[in-house]
């Protein structure tokens, strides 16, 4: 059992950390100003500039197969990189990637969707959730009705990330309601110019998802992704591709926040002493450090299992549950350490506070993760005290 990083992993981690510190963190104040004024935190052109600069360093398509020009670094390296990117709230990700299920495209679809997406020429969104079907994804009702060599879509998808910016969507619709989710749901590749529209949803954070509205949108048969009726399995592959990625980002954010709390506690003086000497503050710091460390190793083990080809779903659910709760506790403590200043928009803590709250909801709520974990244990899929793998 070896918990050390290889020389290559250390090099990648160090390089990404320096890139985040030198290229991305300096943009934080501008992002905060833009968001306060109701503008996007960072322009698409700026993100693209940074992505191309990172590409020169070899960070392009970190999980994209080599045949498509990617680095294909694997889950463990992805987790380490995501932790480093999580140290800033600037919404940046390395370029050259595509949704995992788009690799199921046929050759013609790859030319129209997959390759342009990898090259940064197109933008996608994943459209599964409906007003009446969130965590219960099997309950989707949006119909797709066959009409000649087209399918006609009517309905609404909600809380769609990138839905306002995307020029095509991976839309899941019911093509045979008698067969249920396992045989009656199909995934369609639907270009925006086929007729769907998006409406911005305002949230307590800076995440601006969309409602996608479909009114008699005609989609040609050739735009079915995968097989007719097999879409639900693709949807679950998209959702399960790396549930541990969210808590990996939470680790990076929590580490940055904890360091901010430590630095402030050393300089803030009350009643003649730095608050770092107060036991109440020390316990906040200690508890945060322990919880961050625990999350980090749960996440890395989930990534290791995924890299080894093992079933990482149970471990990923534990990582998502623990990591989301951990991040919310840490940011709350750090805001408390800063007192009134932490509550202001002069510091980024309150922004992280709002962002972190989402982590307990999207990509599977806390309650769904607990349900999954408990079911696995009660049904004997996982044994208590047994190291999986």
Residues carrying an active site annotation: 363
Contact indicator for 234, 104 with CB cutoff of 8 Å: yes
Residue of 298, 305, 349, 346 whose CA lies nearest to 320? 298
Contact indicator for 83, 292 with CB cutoff of 8 Å: no
Contact indicator for 143, 176 with CB cutoff of 8 Å: no
Residue of 342, 341, 369 whose CA lies nearest to 353? 342
| Residues ≥6 apart with Cβ < 8 Å to 316 | 240, 242, 243, 244, 302, 306
Contact indicator for 167, 186 with CB cutoff of 8 Å: no
Torsion of CA 125, 126, 130, 131, to 10 degrees: -50
Q: Coil, strand, or helix at residue 307?
A: helix
DSSP characters for 227-281?
STTBHHHHHHHHHTT-TTHHHHHHHHHHHHHHHHHHHHHHH-EETTEEGGGSHHH
Place of tokens 């600069």: 53
Kind of pairing between the strands at 273-274 and 224-225: unpaired
Q: Estimate to the nearest angstrom the gap between the alpha carbon of 46 and the chain centroid.
A: 21
Q: 21: which DSSP letter?
A: I
DSSP characters for 65-82?
-GGGT-----HHHHHHHH
Residue of 137, 190, 127, 189 whose CA lies nearest to 158? 127
In 271-358, beta strands by DSSP E: 273-274
Q: How far is residue 190's CA from residue 187's CA, in Å, rounded to a whole number?
A: 9
Work out the number of other CB atoms within 10 angstroms of the CB of residue 147.
Answer: 10
Return the half-sphere exposure (C-beta side, CA atoms, 13 A cut-off) of residue 330: 34
């Amino acid at each position: 059992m070896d918990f050390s990083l290889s020389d290559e992993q250390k090099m990648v981690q160090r390089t990404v950390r320096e890139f985040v510190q030198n290229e991305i963190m300096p943009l934080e104040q501008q992002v905060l100003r833009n968001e306060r004024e109701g503008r996007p935190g960072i322009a698409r052109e700026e993100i693209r500039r940074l992505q191309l600069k990172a590409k020169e360093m070899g960070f392009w398509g970190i999980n994209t197969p080599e045949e498509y020009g990617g680095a294909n670094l694997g889950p463990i390296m992805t987790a380490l990189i995501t932790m480093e990117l999580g140290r800033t709230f600037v919404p940046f990700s390395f370029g050259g990637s595509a949704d995992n299920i788009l690799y199921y495209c046929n050759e013609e679809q790859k030319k129209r969707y997959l390759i342009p997406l990898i090259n940064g020429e197109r933008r996608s969104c994943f459209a599964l959730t409906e007003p009446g079907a969130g965590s219960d994804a099997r309950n989707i009702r949006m119909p797709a009705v066959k009409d000649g060599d087209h399918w006609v879509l009517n309905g609404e998808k909600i809380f769609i990330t990138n839905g306002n910016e995307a020029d095509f969507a991976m839309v899941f619709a019911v093509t045979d309601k008698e067969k249920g989710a396992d045989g009656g749901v199909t995934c369609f590749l639907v270009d925006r110019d086929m007729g769907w529209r998006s409406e911005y949803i305002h949230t307590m954070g800076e995440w601006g998802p969309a409602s996608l509205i479909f009114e008699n949108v005609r989609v040609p048969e050739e735009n079915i992704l995968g097989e007719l009726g097999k879409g639900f399995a693709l949807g679950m592959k998209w959702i399960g591709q790396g549930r541990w990625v969210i808590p990996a980002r939470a680790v990076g954010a929590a580490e940055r926040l904890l360091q901010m709390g430590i630095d402030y506690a050393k300089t803030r003086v009350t009643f003649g002493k730095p608050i770092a000497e107060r036991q109440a503050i020390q316990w906040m710091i200690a508890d945060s450090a322990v919880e961050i460390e625990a999350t980090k190793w749960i996440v890395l083990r989930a990534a290791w299992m995924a890299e080894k080809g093992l079933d990482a779903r149970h471990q990923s659910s534990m990582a998502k549950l623990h990591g989301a709760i951990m991040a919310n506790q840490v940011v709350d403590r750090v805001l408390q350490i800063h007192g009134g200043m932490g509550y202001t928009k002069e510091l980024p803590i309150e922004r992280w506070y709002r962002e972190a709250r989402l982590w307990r909801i999207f990509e599977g709520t806390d309650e769904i993760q607990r349900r999954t974990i408990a079911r696995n244990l009660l049904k004997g899929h996982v044994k208590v005290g047994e190291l999986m793998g």
